[in-house]
Structure 1
Amino acid sequence: MSLPLKIGFIGTGAITDAMVRGLLSPHAAVPHVMVSLRSAETSARLAADFPAVLVSADNQAIVEGCDTVVLAIRPQIAEEVVRPLRFRDGQKVISLVAATGRPALLDWIGADVALVQAIPLPFVARRKGVTAIYPPDTGAAALFDVLGNAVECESKAEYDLLAAASALMATYFAIMHRTTQWLAQKGLPEEKGRAYLAPLFAELSQTALLAGPHGDFVEMSREYATRGGLNEQVLRDFERDGGMSALTEALERVYARISR
């Protein structure tokens, strides 16, 4: 499946920056990219770094000039930005608008477009991102496969569940931060704690990746929790003190927010 000849981004935040960088470096996967002037600093930086980037102050010009349009705007302002725009029937639209359902998006767009929802993560800048998309779409999948790996969801429920799981990123780093703080309180310099923890967590993630899609996380946990050992002790304390319950409850709440 060929990639779009010209892709346009309405909204120029961190994810737009990451996607554009992933698409255009180290070698360009698409010939032309248009980005909106909103967030002038980001758009100017992209234009300076990549000759293929054209900055437009007119969102309608992006819609008219691109065969694929990416809506990368905050949900709080999405309706006021999208409603005035005039899309073409059959045009590909990829929505990155969080916690916003297809019926609302299609109502705002007001045309018979090919709408795909996606959850790209910051790692797409390094072409290492895994991106959930819904519904399955070969063109969108080809685009996000360039940026790492696309996971095509067969139902809205699948998509919403992966969206909820993606909300764990900040918690992941917060666990590392709290551990670094604890080490520092016990006398270990913070830079040494970070230098130890980042590779440790990276290698654990690599172990899970190498196990493939059928890897058993429970079995991995058992392997690292030697009977009577330190890992087993921390895991049991974490479970006993409500860590697993708190995680499950947080996921349930974010899923309820996404799937409504």
Structure 2
Amino acid sequence: MKLGFIGTGVITEAIVTGLIAAEYPAAEIIVSERSREVSTRLAAASGRVRVTSDNQQIADQADVVFLAVLPQVAEQVLRPIRFRNRQKVVSLIATLTHDRLHSWIGDGVEITRAIPLPAVAERRGVTVLYPASGQISGLFSCLGTAVTADSIAEFDAYASASALMGTYFGVLETATGWLCAQGCGEQDAQAYLTGVFLGLARRAEQDTGRSFSELRVAHSTPGGLNEQMYGEFTGAGGTSALTAALDSVAARLLAAKPPSCPDEEL
């Protein structure tokens, strides 16, 4: 089996890096030249990676084609490419619906939408898919965890939550700045907070029988500092702001749907 990637950026590099590490049984991984820095790095990482400047060649030779171009240039890049009937296509372009993609690349292709996160490079990522595809789910399971959404509404909800990455680091950035203002060194502050949050993530990973709500209570002694911190955070509108941000991202995804097919169920 051959895999092809049209668009070679951060996510393509993460997926291909993970597949190489997992020794995924692909005879060849064909990646587009752009970006040249990333494609050159991937070709140097494995003899199974081949770089081409011809996107049509990728569609012609790959059994599964991953679309990883920026949404603002997607139509320009994808419309000229001819895909085979029933060819498997995996779209990594979060804001493009099945209907819009089909209008550009043809109704005969089998499209799976996916949202892989950068940790797939270390085979510790989580990827949400829609609709169900055993082959694509198996591929992403080699890179961590694959979750298949039951509906497009569920997929869009996961897509909205995937936009929390920058917020996560923004919270750490804010806490680091506060520690530095108290006289801590920036490097030490960042190392400390990294350790704290890594430990909490591992606890959640190990203790899957408890909800996040239960874990929050378990980590908040009544009358203690953690309880005070969360109370201040919620009282100042922290959780409301987070919910509003999720709603805003979800609204942007909904606005990207063709008016005639808002539900886009398959």
User: Structure 1 length normalisation: TM-score?
Assistant: 0.96
Conserved 8 A contact 1:87-1:111: no
Q: Is the counterpart of residue 256 in structure 1 residue 251 in structure 2?
A: yes
Which amino acid is the alignment partner of residue 139 of structure 2? L
Kindly tell me the number of residue pairs found equivalent between the two proteins.
Answer: 255
What SS is found at the alignment partner of 1:35?
Answer: strand
- The answer to whether the 8 A contact 2:32-2:52 is kept is yes
Q: Helix, strand or coil: the match of 1:116?
A: strand
Identity of aligned residues (%): 46
> Residue 83 of structure 1 is aligned with which of 60, 79, 83?
79
* Residue 236 (structure 1) shift: 0.5
Cα drift, residue 223 of structure 1: 1.1
Q: Is the 8 A contact 1:16 1:72 kept in 2?
A: yes
1:81 Cα shift?
A: 0.6
Match of 1:165 in 2: 161
1:172-201 C-alpha deviation (Å, 9 max, x unpaired): 111111111110111011111111111110
From 224, 235, 240, the counterpart of 2:235: 240
User: Is the contact made by 1:127 and 1:147 (CA closer than 8 Å) also made in structure 2?
Assistant: yes
Residue in structure 1 matching 2:181, options 182, 185, 189: 185
- 1:194 counterpart = 2:190: yes
Question: Residue type of the partner of 2:111?
Answer: L
**23, 30, 34: which is aligned to 1:34?**
30
The structure 1 residue matched to 2:126, chosen from 130, 139, 142, is: 130
Q: 1:29·1:146 contact (CA, 8 Å) conserved in 2?
A: no
2:12 and 2:103 map into 1 onto residues whose CA distance is 24
Q: What is the TM-score when the length of structure 2 is the normalising length?
A: 0.94
SS at match of 1:38: coil
* 2:170 alignment partner AA: A
Q: Secondary structure at the match of 2:72?
A: coil
Deviation at 1:111, TM superposition (A): 3.9
Task: Tell me the equivalent position of 1:229.
Answer: 224
Q: Is contact 2:11–2:117 with CA below 8 Å preserved after alignment? A: yes
2:24, 2:142 within 8 Å by CA — same for their partners in 1? no
Residue by residue over 1:84-124, the C-alpha shift from the partner in whole angstroms, topping out at 9 and shown as x without a partner, is 10001110000001211110011111141110000011001
Flag structure 2 segments of 5+ consecutive residues without an equivalent: 256-266
How is 1:12-23 mapped onto 2 (pairs within 5 angstroms)? 12-23=8-19
Superposition deviation, residue 31 in structure 1: 2.3
CA RMSD of aligned residues (A): 1.0
Task: Check whether the contact 2:7–2:68 (CA below 8 A) recurs between aligned residues.
Answer: yes
Q: CA deviation at 1:28?
A: 4.3
> Are the aligned partners of 1:157 and 1:259 in contact in 2 as well (CA < 8 Å)?
no
Deviations 1:3-43 (A, max 9, x none): xx100000000000111100012534422100001111111
Does structure 1 conserve the Cα–Cα contact (< 8 Å) formed by 2:8 and 2:33? yes
| Distance (whole Å) between structure 2 residues aligned to residue 105 and residue 186 of structure 1 | 52
Query: Does the 8 Å CA contact 1:13/1:72 hold for their aligned counterparts?
Result: yes
Structure 1, unaligned stretches of length 5 or more?
none
The 5 Å alignment of 1:27-176 reads 27-176=23-172
Please give the alpha-carbon distance, in whole angstroms, between the structure 2 residues aligned to 1:40 and 1:160. 31
- 1:248 is displaced (CA, Å) by 0.5
SS in 1 for 2:140: helix
Give runs of aligned pairs for residues 1-16 of structure 1, distance below 5 A.
Answer: 5-16=1-12
**Contact 2:115-2:128 within 8 A present in 1 as well:** yes
